[in-house]
Structure formats: structure tokens, C-alpha cells
Structure 1
């Protein structure tokens, strides 16, 4: 493992720090937000975040705007045209948005996941608009012919109508900040909702940078608002205020539980994408593919991805040989400054996340695991942790059960395929999964046995605008992308009438 040279990220005074409230860029009047560069562990920008009173005002404005109904009453094609213009304007500033994401999230500029941070979600948002315009706004219920004549002899019709929830609170995570913001905002706006975006306090700038383009695109005041905060009081208001109809949240399972509990008294609609502990199962006829299993996790934004396959299952008889191959794939990894084109792996988000990685390595070893490679923080400024492979004796190990959210992979041996599937399903999570085999049919048969919202066969995962993703178990509920990711922002109304 090598270190790249260090470059200092200078704050760019053009990066916006104002909130967007009722169509007006508004300085925050709450606690200061200190944005830290995880590559240097230093604060590079500080500004006033939104106060609880400003959140209250934004909620009131959104409620009033939704109740007027002008945005929802607009034709789907006209609304989509405005959102399309918004997407186009954001694509024009993609380079600046990427610089912001590198500065606040620490994703390396040349990493394979950098295109996913900004450009891919905007391209997919265009595709989502195309998909949305193919969906019916209303459709007939499939009543049998005899049921279409009511008791009075009149012709009876029953229709399904899809309507926006009203006010949607979008609360996003830090690892792919702009990506998650776009995933929530674009479909919610397209389907006619008023949206309040509250980004992670760790990565607020990429959300605030979305404000100017929204105004230039012609999104009406009150339809889309952005508020960043240092703490969580505003988020609490968004999840509890009766004026908010839906919460779309991406984050940890622990916080997701709180969001669900806070939303319960007012029975808000929910879309939750939470934690994961995804399994990669390598069948005996495709073992050589496991050589890149650890690198695929560690080099994906330092393992900070909820869908990453952090549990690697291989046959017990081949485990030592395959772990050596995985370790070899990490020997020459360049760890360093995200701005250096030679950097392959950057930092995790905070010092606390480094300490979490250290703690789980220690817990894993106490429970019988062995460090194959890595296992400690990198000796340089910033929040760096070595890409780590753990030889884990069984699936009950803490490193195999809990989401760590860092560059740590657990390798676990299985006796046979049934044993591998049993261990893959021995988890509270169910977000993603991976099966590798030279026999696609055999791999699909194994995939169908895995309890997970998404399972990928012989591939690292698909981010298609036309296919949805979502979790089972404590990985959340509701879907993002695809038809389901559009309909989740709509209520179903049934209209019955005679004529």
C-alpha cells in the first residue's frame, strides 16, 4: 500500500452557503456548520446553518404551496419539462459539483465511483423523467363484466388515480451526497410534490449548490427548498410535523428506526434506504473471480457504501489460497489525497469513522478472527484506514454481523452451497447480494434463495434508472428508481362512479 502526495483543498468562495427558502437564497441564522476535509482533517469552510425557526418556516411554505395545488395540477409533460431543464443546468455545472463532493466527502477524483457521485444520477434523472411520462396518471380497475352493472342497473366504473403526497422531506446521507439528493428530489418533484431537502451536516455544500439551478429552471418558489443544519433539530421537525406528508431518508438503520418512530404518530409515508451487510457468494466453478472481491469493496469510496459485498463466502477448502489472492490485489493500492489522479483509495468521512473501523477489527479478533492484511489507521493526516481483509471463523463474528462502513471485508468459509446461503441469510439486513458462477442458471437458483431486495449475478451491481432498488428487513422499505421509485412519491386514490 502506497501513499499519494498531498494537496490542500482551498475553499472556493463561489460555493454557495445560503439556504433556499420560499424561492429566496437566505443566510442561515442557526448554529455554524463546519465543513471538514476528510483528507486533511481540517475545516475548510464554516457558515451559519438553518435554525429550527427557519425549518418551521420552510415547512409552512411547502404546506401552503402544496395546498394551493398549482404544481400538482400542472400537466405531467409541463412539470417534467421544468425538471428536465433543472437537470440540464446541473449537468452544466457538473465539474464544480464534483469538486465540492471531493472536498466534503473525500471521494478520489480518479476512482471508479466518481462518475456515480454526480454525472450518473443526473443522466438517470433524465431517464426517470422519460419513464414517468410513460406511466398512466389514471387507469381502470380490472372489474369483471358483471360487476360493472350496479344494483340500480347503472354502468359502474372504478378508476385508480395517482396523486402526489404533498410535502416530501428528503433527508440524505454523506457518502454519495449529490447522488442521493438527486435520487430523491427529481422523482419527488416530477410527480408533483413540494420538496424540502435536508442534507447530511457532514456534506451540506453539494445540496446548497443545487439551489441556483432550481431557480433558473423555473421551479416555483415553495416547491423546492434546501436547508442545511449543524445538528438534527430541523430533521426532527421534518419527521414529526403534521404538515409533512412523506419522509424519504437514506442513512443508518439506527437512525432509520428513529425516523420511522418519529413519523408514526402522523402516519407519514416513508421511503427508507438503510444499512446493509451484503454477501458475495463465490460458487466452486468461479473461485478465481474472488481475487478482486476485497478490492471491489475497499476501493469503492473506502468501503462507504451500504450495498457493498462486505461478507465474502468461499469454500472452506480454498479459503487460504483465495485470501492470499485478495490480499495481493491490495498490496500496491495508492492511498492518499482525493485530488491526486494517482490516488485509488481516499479517506473515510470522520475521525469517529476511523475509530469505528479500529473498534470492529478489535472486536473481530476477540471473537476469533485474524487480520490477513491492513487492520489499522494510515499514518498520515486525515481520516484514513487501511484496506483490510479479515479471516473470520464464522458468520456470528461482529465484523460479519454489523455494518462497519469502512474498507473492511470479512472472508468466511462455507461447507457447501446450502451452508453459504444459510449464512448469507443470517443477518438483520437485506439490501443487496452477489452470486458468482460460471453457470448462470445455477447462480440464479442460488440468488433466488437469498433474502435481499436486490441480488446481482456475475456482476458488481446495476444502477439503472429503469430498475429499482430497496431493502428487506432492517435495510429499509420502499424503493428508489424504476417504476416503484416514482410511484413511492404518489398516493393511490380510487374513484368510483356511475353513468
Structure 2
């Protein structure tokens, strides 16, 4: 079991023991207890908010030149990079991501680089921009000059509430943009995966951040998260999680008019054009073996030509036949667990609902006999008769995909858009012009044509029930700032 001294909260520049309810962190791959955490009490949550408020209002951080904030944050990232192997172990132990999985790159290695790149990107952004006034409006009736400028200022105190599926990655993509923009932050991780957030306590100390600039709290329940989304001293909430919880946060934040950045659920479509059916063979494996399907942007609805559907599903099943389920710490494991027994049961319930509504299980569809331990659900392909099936409409968040046939591309687009979600989408086709035409009709915040992009310079964000605001890229930095317009007339 990891050293308990490393499980302390960080409030007002001090590492402190939690005074609230103690909770356990369980390895979802072995069901063994990884750690016991003393969570934050209600008073400690309030203390963290107060510490952040004092630090922001004092200007000790927001008043620094961006270049000086950048120096401190590079020290923070350097400490995290020095803990690379430990971070990998934490993501395996608390999140269940297989150590040998390609997903580990996104979990740990990419965010360690992205954190540095987002600092560099921010330093390239102008502190102010000129509004595009028409020439005639730049002169007063008396002949004086008029200038109109947009200034970018930090929001203030930001509550960062992260999810369990990619904890370190998500934490980096909330903490770093908010801090480099001059805000003060309270980071509150998922109770299922708090360890990779508590490491920020050590990083903040190593970087010498002023007291209150970064605070880290963990808790057993959701009371602290509710406080963060309702307290008047919190100016913004950045949240990654389910759409249902996102709707609750919107209601909780409304009375105090908080800025919200929400990355929520998804039910993304993969559309394979008729000229690229062969590439659909790996479509299910790309979802099911990517951290057991626990990714909001994964293409869990796979659309192929109706006449080729049976052949495509056979190829998909063949690609999954060699999946190795087991302990995520074993380099041979390719299929790890979902996060909890409750989430495994959710996968089963949706398979059952799908079958009751006319779907057929092509492969998987249940908990495997082996291994005996771990919250593992078999990689599952559902022959889904239409897009109205429950498995095609609801986010399952597990290794379950629906394969749906389309009559023509208009039909494929119609079904892809027939969802409350709009987070991501995929179009695969040799005819790039045709693929682009299909992609441009999808009602979703990101569309990937013949491959995706994982870059700090390209933003992502949801439409409809998939969220508000953007992460990464210029938009993912500006969301942590507010605009002040200055209209200046010459004396």
C-alpha cells in the first residue's frame, strides 16, 4: 500500500490531514485496497475556497507577469515528470488502465508534455486585441481618435472537478490552463481515483507556488463538490463527467452565475464509407480495448453499409478474439476492468436492454469466467437493428459497441445525429472529399476524418448534452479568462 503521508490534502499552501470521512481506493483489476484516504471535511472545503479567494484577491499570482507564472508552472511540471513511473503505477492501481496499453500514452506520457506546451501556447496569446471598428467610427465628431480594445483577465477562483477514467490527464488539463491564465484553483478529483490528483500537492510545494494558488481536496462523497459549485467565492467550475451530473452542476451554479466549462457524456458515431469497409475490422477493438471503453469520445456506434453488416461484424469479432483480460499491472493484459462492480453491472444491464429491444450479441455480453477477481466485462459487439435501441442511445461507458447498418450516407448521417449527445465523431473513407462532406453534416463538437488528433493546440468540446465550452487549444485557455472592453478617446 502506498505511503499514507503522500495522501494529504493541500489547503492554503500546507499539506494537511483530512478531517472528514475516510474512504478506500480499490484497484478495479484485483479488487485489492490500494489506499485509505482521510477525506476533506466541510470546513476544510470552505477553507480551501477561502484560501484561493485570498490568494487571487491579493494579486500574488494574478498580478505576476505571465512569464513568471510560466516559470513556476514549469517547475511544477518538472516535478510531475520526475514522478513519471509512479504516475503510471497510480493510473494502473486506482484506474485499472493496463500498463501495456496504448492508452497509457494518453493517461500519463502525453499530459506531461501537453502541460508544458499549454504554457508555451498561452505566452503566445496577446494580452489584449483591438476590436475591428470601421474606419469612420475611429474618429470622433471633433476629430479625435477612438480605440476599442479587448483585455483578457483571469476569471478568479476556479473549482476543477475531474473524472475517473483519465484522472491525471484530466487534472493537468484543468489545473495548468487555469493557473497560467492567472486563476487560483481548487482541484477535487473523483473519489474513485484521487491518488493521481494528490500528487499535485507535492508538485505545488516543489514549484514554490504561493499559498492558496493551488489547493487539492479529496472526499468520499459529493458534498464538497456541491459546495464548490454553489459557494459565492467560486467564480468558475470546470467539470468532466456524466451529462446527468453536468445538468445538476448547471442548476447549482445558476444562482451565483458561475462560468462553466463542462465536458460531459458522448455517444459518438463511426461512419465507414462503402469504399473503406475493410478498415471497420478494427472499429470495435479500438473502442473496447481503449481502457475498457471508458472514454467519452470513443466511437461506440459503428455505422456500416447494411448489405455488408454481417461481414463487418465477423471481422470485428475476429479482431477481438485475442483480447487478454486480466490484472492491469500485467504487460500481457489488453483488456482491463471497468472502474467498479456497479459499472460492470451497468454494462450488463444495457446488454440485456439491447437484446430485449431486438439486438443480438455477436461476441461478449457478460462477465468472463476468468479472472475471478476484477471488474471485467467482456468486449461486446451488438448487432443492433436500429439507432433507437437503448444501447445506441445511452452512454454505457464500457467495452460495448453497437453496429448499425445504413441504407445510404444520408441515412447514416441522420442516425448519427439522432442523439442527445454531440461530443465527437469519426468518418472513414478513401474518397476524402466525400468523407469531408459527410463530416460537415455531423452535429458534434469534433469530427475526425480518417484519424484523430491528440494535441494541446486543437480544442475539443461538446454540443447539446455533451457539454459547454472547450478544452485544449486557444479556446481552452480563453475559457479561463473574461473579457473587458476598453473604449479610449484621445484627450
Deviations 1:102-154 (A, max 9, x none): 10000000001001111201201111111111100012212122212224543
* Structure 2 counterpart of 1:465: 456
2:153 alignment partner, SS class:
strand
Q: Gaps spanning 5+ residues in structure 2: where? A: none
- Say whether 1:310 aligns with 2:314: no
Look up the match of 1:484. Answer: 475
Alignment check: 8 A CA contact 2:177 2:477 kept: yes
CA contact (8 A) 2:27 2:96 kept: yes
Deviation readout 1:318-342 (Å, 9 max, x if unpaired): 0001100000111111110011010
Aligned to 1:20: 10
User: Which SS does the other structure have where 1:272 is aligned?
Assistant: strand
Q: How far apart are residue 462 of structure 1 and its match?
A: 1.2
Structure 1 window deviating more from structure 2 (83-92 vs 429-438): it is 83-92
Say which of 383, 390, 393 aligns to 1:398: 390
Matched residues in 2 for 1:164 and 1:215: separation? 23
In the other structure, the counterpart of 1:383 is 375
1:427 aligns with 2:419: yes
Please, which of 63, 66, 70 is the counterpart of residue 76 of structure 1?
Answer: 66
Could you list the per-position Cα deviations for residues 337-387 of structure 1 after superposition, in whole angstroms to 9, with x for gaps in the alignment? Answer: 011010001000000001000100000001000000000012221101000
1:249 corresponds to 2:239: yes
Q: CA deviation at 1:70?
A: 2.2
* CA displacement 1:222-252 (0-9 Å, x = unmatched): 0000000000010001000010000000000
Aligned equivalent of 1:276, options 266, 274, 280: 266
- Single out whichever of 140-149 and 305-314 deviates more from structure 2: 140-149
Whole-Å separation in 1 of the counterparts to 2:199 and 2:69: 22
Alpha-carbon separation, structure 2, partners of 1:289 and 1:142: 47
- The answer to whether the 8 Å contact 1:196/1:226 transfers is yes
Deviates more, 1:128-137 or 1:250-259: 128-137
Distance 1:243 1:208 in 2: 23
Q: Deviations over 1:12-54 (max 9, x none)?
A: 2267110000000000000112101101223231121001110
Moved more, 151-160 or 465-474: 151-160
Show the counterpart of 2:39: 49
Query: Structure 1 stretch 212-221 or stretch 243-252: which is displaced more?
Result: 212-221
1:369 aligns with 2:369: no
Distance 1:15 1:315 in 2: 57
Alignment of 1:77-476 (within 5 A): 77-379=67-369, 380-459=372-451, 461-476=452-467
Gaps of 5+ in 1: 1-10
Cα distance in 2, alignment partners of residues 211 and 93 from structure 1: 13
- Which digits, 9 at most, give the CA deviation of each residue in 1:255-282, with x for residues without a partner? 0000111001111001000000000000
For residues 411-439 of structure 1, give each alpha carbon's deviation from its aligned partner in whole angstroms, at most 9, with x where no partner exists. 00000000000000000000000001011
Shift of 1:294: 0.4
Please, which moves more after superposition, 71-80 or 310-319? 71-80
The answer to whether the Cα contact below 8 Å between 1:194 and 1:222 also exists between their aligned partners in 2 is yes
Q: CA RMSD in A?
A: 0.9
Whole-Å separation in 2 of the counterparts to 1:87 and 1:47 = 24
Alignment check: 8 A CA contact 2:67 2:123 kept: yes
Supply the distance in 1 between the matched residues of 2:5 and 2:345 (Cα, whole angstroms): 31
Tell me if the contact between 1:15 and 1:205 (Cα under 8 Å) persists in the aligned partners: no
Cα distance in 2 for partners of 1:245, 1:372 equals 49
1:75, distance to aligned residue in structure 2 (A): 0.6
Contact 2:2 2:34 (C-alpha < 8 Å) held by counterparts? no
Task: State the secondary structure of the residue aligned to 1:157.
Answer: strand
Structure 2 length-normalised TM: 0.98
Change (3 A) 1:477 1:386: same
Aligned residues: 488
Q: Give the alignment's TM-score, normalised by structure 1.
A: 0.97
Q: Distance in 2 between matches of 1:326 and 1:245?
A: 47
Contact residue 15 and residue 209 of structure 1 kept, 8 A: no
State the Cα deviation string for residues 42-95 of structure 1 (Å, max 9, x = none). Answer: 323112100111000110111111111221111111111111121111111111
- Where do 4+ consecutive residues of structure 1 move more than 4 Å? none
